[in-house]
Structure 1
């Protein structure tokens, strides 16, 4: 099976299945000397862990991570970092009734057509549990970015048709509700809506928004490895994502050039209001979402990923089995009525991995900087 490797210099390989013995990742290309511990990784994994609330699957997994290699005395050695999370609460018997039936909205049919068979226990590699490896690797990338003054923060922008209001936006509020929404009133309305969906044995989708702050201008390659292009690939590679935007996104198609262009100016302060040694070029607005020509422009990177409703619902659905017969299916087991809250940290992880990789690639962009490094 191809396609389990992501990145160029900072490269990750994820492995494992939903109902196998474990899930894991190998991170290659992380610079030596980065301070990292299992507790740093666990903080991120705890945010995507199942069983956190009634809005997530009741599967009881501690998702405890073990670092197997690449870290010594609390610092990376430059060798590949291998991490593993053991699966402890599989209930493969929950899936026995659907082993020969294609679940609507799932990868059952396409997986079967491609490989000739499938792991029907929770979806195997197509399960959302595959994202454990991404999140563990993303935690390493976030620590690397943090050492450079770059922060990646994601949150739930909308649940169904219920959106946050930027008039009452508070990044801290996302820790105070079960949906990771930075708007307390929107979160309350969204929870009520999810209660309704659960009563109807249905599910819903939503949008995760992510902001990358502190990324310097000049990151990203101008043709096939554009920053926004790489972020788009990273986001759409997440199983349930059906759409991607950066900056104004699709709204830019309805705008005029005079309103969509971001004017330039000069500033003597950094993003936190601290005085600079010399004036810097800044944009007065950020319709572009922090990129121009596929390269970061020094302003916040603002991106969004749209998640479809959870396909596993308890309501009857029409389908076909492997014998080519039409039938009905009513999915049992433990499933999230909404994917979005647990996906917030997955979006953060993929954004961090993408940006960290492109940062390392950018180190070779200019001869004067290479000379300055090796002539020191």
Structure 2
């Protein structure tokens, strides 16, 4: 199967199925010497694991990660880092009733059309459990970025119709409520709304916002390898993401140039800055030194207990009620996944940018200036 690898220098390949023996990832291209332990990875995996609240699947998985290679005496060696998480609470029998039926909103039909075969146990490679590998790899990328003074922080921007108020933004609040929402008032309304939808055997969508801070100007390339295009591909590769924005996003279409343009000024240290950030930190596909702000829109969880119309693999119309253990909302557990994909993309492009200018290559290798040879 193609399409399981992301990145150019920092290359990530995920493997495994929802109900197979395990899930994992191989990270190649990480520089040697980065301090790294299983605890670093586990802290991120704990944010996405199931069973954290009544708003997540009841599947009980510890999701304990094991580093199999690429780390020695607490530091990366520069060789491929392989990590694995064993599955321990599979209940494949919960999916017996959908063996020959296509679930609405899932990849069952399209996967079957492409391969002529599908793993119906929880969705196989199309399961949200595949994101374990992404999160594990993202933890490494985030630590690499942090060593350079760059941070990546994602949170729940909206749940259904309830959106966090920027005026009430509290970064610590998202760790105090079950929705990772940085606004206590909005989180309370969203929880009540979720409870109501769950009582109706329904599910809810939402929006995750992510901020990348401390990134210098000059990361990314024009044309096909734009920073925002790479972020879009990475974020849209997450299951259930149906929309992506940078900066003002779709609101920019309602604006005019005099409002949307970010005026340049000089700061106290003599560096260029912008008065506003409608562009979301990216101009012409290249970072401009401002905060990079992106958003991902997640659809409602397609697995719901309400009766739905569908067809069988034998092309017969039928009805289906989804059984098993499913999240009524994907967003809270997806926050760390968005964070991981943003970190992986940023770290990869940052490493690629190291070769963009001759003077920086000369400075790195201590080579005399080219002009001395002419």
Output the TM-score relative to the length of structure 2.
Answer: 0.98
Which residue is 2:253 aligned to? 253
Provide the rounded CA distance (Å) in 1 between the counterparts of 2:225 and 2:22. 33
Provide the rounded CA distance (Å) in 2 between the counterparts of 1:56 and 1:226. 35
Pairing of 1:45-84 with structure 2 (within 5 A): 45-84=45-84
Pairing 1:301–2:292 present: yes
Matched positions, count: 367
Residue by residue over 1:2-37, the C-alpha shift from the partner in whole angstroms, topping out at 9 and shown as x without a partner, is 100000000000000000000000000000000010
Provide the rounded CA distance (Å) in 2 between the counterparts of 1:167 and 1:292. 27
Aligned to 1:279, which of 248, 270, 292? 270
Q: What's the offset of the Cα at 1:221?
A: 0.6
Q: What's the offset of the Cα at 1:348?
A: 0.2
Residue by residue over 1:177-208, the C-alpha shift from the partner in whole angstroms, topping out at 9 and shown as x without a partner, is 00000000000000000000100000010000
Q: Secondary structure at the match of 1:144?
A: helix
Provide the rounded CA distance (Å) in 1 between the counterparts of 2:364 and 2:134. 32
Provide the rounded CA distance (Å) in 2 between the counterparts of 1:373 and 1:166. 42
Provide the rounded CA distance (Å) in 2 between the counterparts of 1:204 and 1:223. 36
Q: What's the offset of the Cα at 1:219?
A: 0.2
Q: Secondary structure at the match of 1:138?
A: helix
Pairing 1:17–2:8 present: no
Pairing 1:313–2:304 present: yes
Pairing 1:113–2:104 present: no
Q: What's the offset of the Cα at 1:45?
A: 0.2
Aligned to 2:358, which of 362, 367, 373? 367
Q: What's the offset of the Cα at 1:257?
A: 0.1
Which residue is 1:324 aligned to? 315
Which residue is 1:180 aligned to? 180
Q: What's the offset of the Cα at 1:223?
A: 1.2
Pairing 1:39–2:39 present: yes
Residue by residue over 1:94-132, the C-alpha shift from the partner in whole angstroms, topping out at 9 and shown as x without a partner, is 000100000000000000000001000000000000000
Which residue is 2:339 aligned to? 348
Which residue is 2:371 aligned to? none
Q: What's the offset of the Cα at 1:279?
A: 1.1
Q: Secondary structure at the match of 1:67?
A: strand
Which residue is 1:89 aligned to? 89
Provide the rounded CA distance (Å) in 2 between the counterparts of 1:35 and 1:102. 46
Say what the alpha-carbon RMSD is for the aligned residues.
0.5
Pairing of 1:196-275 with structure 2 (within 5 A): 196-268=196-268
Q: Secondary structure at the match of 1:171?
A: coil
Provide the rounded CA distance (Å) in 2 between the counterparts of 1:43 and 1:279. 39
Can you give the 5+ residue segments of structure 2 that lack an aligned partner in the other structure? Answer: 368-374
Q: Secondary structure at the match of 1:224?
A: helix
Provide the rounded CA distance (Å) in 1 between the counterparts of 2:355 and 2:39. 33
Q: What's the offset of the Cα at 1:375?
A: 1.3
Can you give the 5+ residue segments of structure 1 that lack an aligned partner in the other structure? Answer: 269-277
Which residue is 1:127 aligned to? 127
Output the TM-score relative to the length of structure 1.
Answer: 0.97
Provide the rounded CA distance (Å) in 2 between the counterparts of 1:266 and 1:161. 40
Q: Secondary structure at the match of 1:244?
A: strand
Aligned to 1:338, which of 329, 338, 345? 329
Which residue is 2:154 aligned to? 154
Q: Secondary structure at the match of 2:225?
A: coil
Provide the rounded CA distance (Å) in 2 between the counterparts of 1:197 and 1:52. 19
Provide the rounded CA distance (Å) in 1 between the counterparts of 2:40 and 2:304. 34
Q: Secondary structure at the match of 1:242?
A: strand
Which residue is 1:274 aligned to? none
